[in-house]
């Protein structure tokens, strides 16, 4: 499929991925790792096969999101654990979209996990490991120069478009999408595009029949069966829609 492209200088190493420059200044290579962290890096382990699974899930979903009108950084999958992407400057705002109360939302507001929300909730966090990704609002992001009001309204629009695509997509494959986290970046001409990944590391997935957790909460909460859940999610994501 591809393309003679090879890794240059390591630009950035995060908890789950490495980003490399390439000989083309407008393109990067992203390498997905098996490393897993939770609770702001306090809990660490390897999840066997995770890098390849998250690469494959993201590579399956991003082109479909493009087709649905969401521009993304994704170009192509290069290998089991690598993908070729457009170089972006990441906007340091993590965007969380919620359909059902869970995790930090349930804790913060005292709402039982599993309570459906009457409309999607979009939340914003400052992307800072040192501070533990604190909750912010859009005024904060503008006042501190992280994004413009126009970029933030575009981000919200795109995040809700992602939501509108993904909820039925997963439901048709036996999965409830509880919540998920997105990151956006800007191309050199300023266009806002979806970046990062969409995977069991960044989404809460519950089995539609049993509500069994099929995502990183199995690792965070020591539920066991982590590798199996990731593998099953890859199988479902790449399966055709059920009747
Ligand atoms: N999430 C993420 N990275 C983060 C924080 C959250 O990918 O640094 C995802 C998480 O997997 C879940 C959603 O965003 O799907 C909402 O997470 P929440 O705010 O409830 O935080 P958590 O309970 O995971 O700390």
Which protein residue's CA is at the shortest distance from atom 3 of ligand 1? 202
**pTM of the complete model:** 0.97
Taking the centre of ligand 1 as the mean of its atom positions, its distance from the CA of residue 108, in whole angstroms, is 13
**pLDDT-derived band of residue 4, with 50, 70 and 90 as boundaries?**
confident
CA angle 180, 184, 186 (to 5 degrees): 175
Q: For residues 117 and 84, give the distance between their C-alpha atoms in angstroms, rounded to a whole number.
A: 36
Please, what is the average pLDDT of the chain?
A: 97
Residue 76 has pLDDT above 80, yes or no: yes
DSSP state of 169: H
| Per-residue model confidence as pLDDT tens digits over 179-217 | 999 999 999 999 999 999 999 999 999 999 999 999 999
Q: Give the confidence band of 151 by pLDDT, cuts at 50, 70, 90.
A: very high
How far apart CA 200 and CA 231 sit, in angstroms, is 10
In order of 4, 189, 203, the CA distances from 98 in angstroms are 40, 30, 10
148: confidence class by pLDDT, cuts 50, 70, 90: very high
Going by alpha carbons, the residue nearest to atom 14 of ligand 1 is 181
CB-defined site of ligand 1, < 6 Å = 96, 102-105, 133, 179-181, 202-204, 216
In three-state secondary structure terms, 175 is: strand
Q: H or E segment at 165?
A: helix 149-171
SS3 assignment, position 139: helix
Full set of structural domains in the chain with CATH: 10-88 (3.30.200.20), 90-225 (3.30.470.20)
177 CA distance to ligand 1 middle (Å): 13
Per DSSP, what are the bridge partners of residue 203?
180
pLDDT at 1 over 70: no
From the CA of 202, how far away is ligand 1's center (Å)? 6
Ligand 1 atom 11: the closest Cα is on which residue? 202
Q: How many CA atoms within 13 Å lie on the side-chain side of 167?
A: 13
Ligand 1 atom with minimal separation from the 123 CA: 19
Determine the number of helices (DSSP H) and then strands (DSSP E) in the chain. Answer: 6, 14
Note the pLDDT tens digit of each residue in 159-179: 999 999 999 999 999 999 999
Model confidence over 116-137: pLDDT tens digits?
999 999 999 999 999 999 999 9
**Percentage of the residues of the chain whose pLDDT score is greater than 90:** 97
Residue 40 has pLDDT above 90, yes or no: no
pLDDT for 3 equals 67
Please state the atom number of ligand 1 nearest to the C-alpha of residue 96: 14
Say how many Å lie between the CA of residue 151 and the centre of ligand 1.
22
CA distance 105 to 115: 11
Residue to substitute in 115, 117, 179, 182 for testing ligand 1 pocket (most ligand atoms within 8 angstroms of CB): 179
Residue 7 confidence class, pLDDT cut points 50, 70, 90: very high
Is the CB of residue 8 less than 8 Å from the CB of residue 23? yes
| 140 C-alpha to ligand 1 centroid (Å) | 20
- C-alpha of residue 144 to centroid of ligand 1, in Å: 23
Give the long-range contacts of residues 5-14, CB within 8 A, separation 24 or more: 5/29, 5/78, 5/84, 7/31
β-pairing verdict for 89-90 and 93-100 = unpaired
**Ligand 1 atom nearest to CA at 204:** 15
pLDDT > 80? residue 65: yes
| Centre of ligand 1 from the C-alpha of residue 216, in Å | 9
């Amino acid at each position: 499929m591809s393309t003679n492209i090879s890794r240059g200088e390591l630009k950035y190493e995060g908890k789950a991925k490495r980003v490399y420059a390439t000989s083309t200044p407008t393109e990067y290579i992203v390498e997905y790792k098996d490393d897993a962290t939770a609770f702001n890096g306090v809990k660490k382990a390897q999840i066997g096969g995770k890098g390849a699974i998250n690469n494959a899930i993201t590579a399956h979903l991003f082109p479909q999101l493009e087709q649905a009108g969401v521009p993304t950084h994704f170009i192509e999958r290069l290998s089991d654990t690598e993908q070729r992407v457009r170089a972006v400057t990441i906007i340091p705002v993590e965007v969380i979209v919620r359909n059902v109360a869970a995790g930090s939302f349930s804790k913060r507001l005292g709402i039982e996990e599993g309570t459906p929300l009457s409309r999607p909730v979009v939340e914003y966090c400052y992307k800072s490991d040192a501070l533990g990704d604190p909750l912010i609002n859009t005024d904060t992001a503008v006042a501190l120069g992280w994004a413009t009001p126009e970029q933030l309204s575009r981000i919200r629009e795109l995040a809700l478009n992602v939501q509108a695509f993904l909820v039925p997509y997963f439901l048709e494959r036996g999965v409830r999408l509880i919540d998920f986290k997105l990151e956006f970046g800007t191309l050199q001409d300023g266009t806002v595009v979806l970046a990062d990944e969409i995977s069991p590391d960044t989404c809460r997935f519950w089995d539609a029949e049993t509500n069994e957790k099929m995502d990183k909460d199995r690792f965070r909460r020591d539920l066991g069966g982590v590798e199996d859940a990731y593998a099953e999610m890859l199988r479902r994501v790449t399966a055709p829609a059920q009747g």
